[in-house]
Amino acid sequence: MAARNPGVEYDESWIQNIYINLPAVKRRAETLGTRRTVKKQWQAAWLLRAVTCIDLTTLAGDDTPSNVERLCYKAKHPIRGDLVKALDIKDKDITTGAVCVYPSRVADCVKALKACNGTNIPIASVATGFPTGQTPLKTRLDEIKQAVSSGAREIDIVINRTYALTGDWKGVYNEVRLMREACGEAHLKTILATGELGSMVNVYKASMVCMMAGADFIKTSTGKEGVNAILPVGLVMVRAIREYHHRTAHKVGFKPAGGIRSAKDACTWLSMMKEELGDEWTKPNLFRIGASSLLGDIERQIFHYVTGRYAAAHELPMA
């Protein structure tokens, strides 16, 4: 992870008179989304980079120690052995960015990662009454502390949408500040649940307020809202990150999450990061993709890449 973002004093002027040129944002998002896929010779590199940025997630009511164990093994060995061999990369170099689970499953992750030699992989835990955040503040803070003491190194909190929707941005700031304190050494990711914020201006304000309060990452969604990670919202958030960096020199990471299931989508998000914020923001210390079922498609595409390459190499010339 990048250096911690200490945050700054709350400053209302940073979120006043915000104007978002929605048609322009939508046009830009459309260009990114419909662009031709990555050039053939770079495909494997992009796909592998995307793998290293995945927060491999399971956030289901029926999670058990055994599916968490499989998740951790997959995080440690995200690409099938024969494909790793064909790509001529060292398995140990490629793991997912983190695993992401509910607080009560963190201890299972600790055990499973130890068993598969994956203790270098951070455990991210959602907390604070995920996904709605509708529990008393003390309960939400205690949940963070419990997840950290069980072994989580990253905490994904949800912001208080009631405060955001009623314009109480100082209220959002104060809570996130307390959540950051409760995290101790663990990194803080703040989930905005953008599908419930009502407007792009609110998305921008929520992004800025969370960063002012010390978020190390801002994250689009829980994966449980009606609308989750979409490019126009992502653009507004990364532009807030750019503005915050410009004002404070602190680099805050970005995590789109929810509904990202195809390798092509992952590459589109990566290219958005590269174009909007630069190469530095395309690595796991500043970019993560929260996803439960993306890895399968990436592995499939790597398989096509590898088999295509060999088929081409062995092709007979025309007689």
Q: Which residues bind ligand G3H (CB under 6 A)?
A: 57, 59, 100, 222-223, 257-260, 290-293
- Least Å distance, CB 171 to ligand G3H, is 24
Nearer to ligand G3H by Cβ, of 125 and 282: the residue is 125
Closest-by-Cβ residue to ligand G3H is: 223
Rounded to whole angstroms, the Cα distance separating 109 from 179 reads 23
- Least Å distance, CB 191 to ligand G3H, is 8
Burial class (CB in 10 A: 0-12, 13-18, 19+), 203: buried
Cis peptide before 131 (omega within 30 of 0): yes
Nearer to ligand G3H by Cβ, of 207 and 222: the residue is 222
Judge contact between 117 and 95, C-beta under 8 A.
Answer: no
Nearer to ligand G3H by Cβ, of 117 and 293: the residue is 293
Nearer to ligand G3H by Cβ, of 131 and 151: the residue is 131
- Least Å distance, CB 13 to ligand G3H, is 32
- Least Å distance, CB 257 to ligand G3H, is 4
The residues annotated as belonging to the active site are 219, 255
- Least Å distance, CB 10 to ligand G3H, is 27
- Closest-CA residue to 235 (of 198, 264, 194): 194
- Closest-CA residue to 210 (of 236, 233, 240): 240
Judge contact between 113 and 77, C-beta under 8 A.
Answer: no
Nearer to ligand G3H by Cβ, of 15 and 272: the residue is 272
